[in-house]
Amino acid sequence: MNIYVYTIRRSLYVIPILLGVSMMIFFLFNFISGDPTSILLGPHATAVQMAELRQELGLDRAWYFQYWDIVKSAFTFDFGRSWTTKQQISSMLSSGAIPSMTVSIPAFIISTVLSISIALLISFFRGGWLDKTVVFVCVTMMSISSLAYILFSQWFFAFKLGWFEISGYENGFPDFVPYVLLPILIWVMMTIGPNVRFFRTVMLDEVYQDYVRTARSKGLSEYYILFKHVLKNAMIPIITYVVIQIPFLILGALLTESFFGIPGLGSMTLDAINGNDFPVIKAMTILTAVAYIIFSLITDVLYTVVDPRVRLK
């Protein structure tokens, strides 16, 4: 089987997954969301008004119509209107995406590059005190709750020391920059631990391979081996690991956005969860799931292309 056929076959596999996701979303959310009318109409609602609204929202239709709506929305991205803000969800998504990405993308890049560099460095000194210390610090950093990071950083770095804006957001570059610095920093602090650990493991996996031993016996310098061979070969799992994280960047940083007043998709999702705003919850779930499916497809194909060792089945 050649690579093209594989790609096509792998792409077709997206369809059952999408159907599965839409089914799961339907079961998870339509069944539990129940009747939203009393929430929407406030404390003075009457039974007649509730019935009218149910009809207006299409909640009185048969289940397969409601299921079909979900399937349709996965392709058209038309999610209707939010129950709480009454806004078009697609426009909420597009206006929230940019603020989220101004935090998540720089944070993601910084964290990834920084972690790879650190991992390379400590695999060079593997087993030494530097390696041990860095790993210990990384593990310590990932053992702290994200909420504790946020609460403490906002209070200490932004308020007590005044190094950063406490919260807020402005649209447009470079106005947003001061507001995203601390959120980015928190993101990096939270992700660098697991990243370094993973990259280190991947690199050590390579270091103990036979070809490295051969190279070493040939008298090549450790430095050369590390950059020329180890990094190159470790790139495959690294890229896979990195690419598969991308879809979740859409969700942004839930708590961070909420605490720092960044009007992104993360805080929108939290608002929706707190407000039982099921159309928005569903939309975010579908969006992330679709992105996840697409990116896993990309990683799979990439993997096959770059690593001839992977057997095409």
Partner 1 sequence: MLKQINTLLVTTIFLFFLLGGCAKKVDPNVKVLNFVISSKVKGMDPVYAADKYSNNEIARVYEGLLEYHYLKRPYTLVPNLAASMPKVSADGLTYTFKIKQGVMFHDDICFPRGKGRELEAADFVYSIKRLADPKLQSLGWWLLDGKIKGLNSWRKKYSSADAADYSEVVEGLQALDKYTLQFKLARPFPQFLYSLAMPFTFAVANEAVTKYGKEFLNHPVGTGPFILPAFEQSNKITYVKNPTFREKLYPSEASEEFKKLGYLADAGKRLPLVDKIVVKTMVESQPRWLNFLKGKLDYISIPKDNFDTAVIPGKGISDKLAKKGIILLITPSLDVTYTSFNFDHKLFQNKKLRQALSLAIDIHKVNKLFYNDTGLPANSVIPPGIAGHIKGFVNKYQGPDLERSKKLLAEAGYKDGKGLPELVYETTASTTARLQGDLFVRRMALIGVKARIQQNTWPEMNKKINNRTAMIWGIAWSADYPDAENFLQLLYGPNRAPGSNKAGYNNPAFNRMFEVASRMQDSPERTAFYERLNLLVAEDSPWIFGVHRQSYVIKHGWLKNYISSDFDSGQAQYLNINLKEKIKKIEVL
Partner 2 sequence: MGNITKSKSLWSHAWSSLTADRMALISMVIIGTYTLIAVLGGLDLIASDWAKEVGPSYAAPSWDNLLGTDIFGRSVVAKVIKGTEIAMSIGLFTAIVSTVIGVFLGSIAGYYGGKVDEVIVWFYTTFASIPGIMKLVAISFILGKGLFAIYLALGLSNWVHLCRLVRGEVIRHKDREYVQAATAIGGGNFRKLFKHILPNVFHIVIIQFSLQFQTAIKSEVILSYLGLGAQSVPSWGTMINDSKLELARDVWWQLSAATAAMLIVVLAFNILGDALRDALDPKLKGK
Residue closer to partner 2 by CB (options 155, 227) is 155
Residue closer to partner 1 by CB (options 26, 83) is 83
Q: Which helix (H) or strand (E) holds 313?
A: none
Q: Contact between 273 and partner 2 (CB under 8 A)?
A: yes
Q: Contact between 6 and partner 2 (CB under 8 A)?
A: no
8 A C-beta contact, residue 164 and residue 182: yes
Q: Contact between 204 and partner 2 (CB under 8 A)?
A: yes
Show the binding pattern over residues 31-50: x = contacts partner 2 (CB under 8 A), - = does not. xx------------------
Nearest to 207 by CA among 233, 179, 237, 240: 233
Nearest to 150 by CA among 178, 108, 186, 176: 186
Q: Contact between 146 and partner 2 (CB under 8 A)?
A: yes
Give the other-Cβ count within 10 Å of 215's Cβ: 18
Q: How far is the CB of 129 from partner 1 (least distance, A)?
A: 23
Tokens found for residue 203? 């690199």
Gap between the Cα atoms of 48 and 262, Å rounded: 39
Q: Point out which residues pair with 81 in neighbouring strands.
A: 88
Q: Contact between 198 and partner 2 (CB under 8 A)?
A: no
Contacting residues toward partner 1, per CB under 8 A: 34-36, 38-47, 49-50, 52-53, 56, 81, 84-88, 91-92, 95-96, 99, 106, 110, 113-114, 116-117, 120, 151, 154-155, 158-159, 162, 164-171, 174, 177-178, 181, 184, 227, 258-263, 267, 270-271, 273-276
Nearest to 196 by CA among 142, 257, 125, 260: 142
